[in-house]
Amino acid sequence: VFPGVRQAQWLTKTKLVEGLPPAVQGIVDNAALGLQELEERAKHMVSHARLWDTAQVAPKREQYCPVLFENLIHVCRLMSGKYPSLSKRMLARNCRIAATWERESILLQVRGLSGILMNSMTPIPPVASKEEILATKEHVLETFYPIAPTIDLQEVNVYKELNDTGQCFRDGYPYSHPHTLFFLESANARTDRFRPEQLRAKMLMFAFGNALAKARALHGNDPKILEQPIVVQSIGTDGQLFQFMVFQLNTTDLVSNDGVKNLVWIDSDQNLYERAQCVPEVKKRVVTKPAGISGFQPDTFKKFLALYLHGTV
């Protein structure tokens, strides 16, 4: 069982803030950017993924979830005409990550495939000010006593303390900054998918892992408060419900519960649409539910787009 967000916060020495940070919310709310001009196109892309991109009557989640993701990325890329620096991005698939750190007297490691990773030539600027970062010293991390905070984590023998940003960040690679991780929970059977809370915990652990590995690559392994915090975003979806996250690594001094904490902003459980009716529902020769997408939520699409634009706009 993957831990919940509360456990992930302790493991990563992180303070949680509900909702999106002002830097991202400001992009969502900025009418001058013309995000609403892409709403109709995004709705069309939902219809394409759910209703048209198949010979089946109703496509399965493992088919429509990746198609929807590719479609939404395509819509986001349309903004590169207005913001040319958006073309300085690269999507890396099957990127492996390994990051090792110590919490209290416990050696921890996050490793594995970290979803689809969008890399950028330039890092996302810090979203919390120096004052906000220093204020996290007052934050008290939740403990789980008498339960160990590492309960249900897999215990393994670590022969080598790996800190590896994967093949994505070899020396000289131009797109050397992690920007956004995408996790697609596209298994058809609900039991094979992470529940939203588990998915958010996974997103936090891998955003932290990518940020920590990048910090170590830049600054070495000595624990320190970062002069320039590292921001890594994460988006998770099952093809309908979206989770948005912005993580800021402020410190690599993770052993004790004291001092500066890292920060994460989470906007949970945002539906992109309410229902996709592949064939009309007919009762007594009357169409009770027409075919098509109902309850499209433009704000959820705008949040996806805002995270994509973040650091450029």
Distance CA 210, CA 100 (A): 11
Residues 6 or more apart whose CB falls under 8 angstroms from that of 161 comprise: 100, 107, 109
Q: Residue 2: pLDDT band by 50, 70, 90 thresholds?
A: very low
Dihedral pair phi/psi, residue 223, rounded to 5°: -65, 135
- Residue 114 domain boundaries: 3-309
Kindly report, residue by residue over 230-276, the tens digit of the pLDDT.
Answer: 999 999 999 999 999 999 999 999 999 999 999 999 999 999 999 99
Residues 6 or more apart whose CB falls under 8 angstroms from that of 157 comprise: none
Report the domain count for the chain: 1
Q: Do the Cβ atoms of 242 and 224 come closer than 8 Å?
A: no
Q: Do the Cβ atoms of 276 and 51 come closer than 8 Å?
A: yes
pTM: 0.91
Residue 70 has pLDDT above 80, yes or no: yes
Kindly report, residue by residue over 97-123, the tens digit of the pLDDT.
Answer: 888 899 988 888 888 777 899 999 999
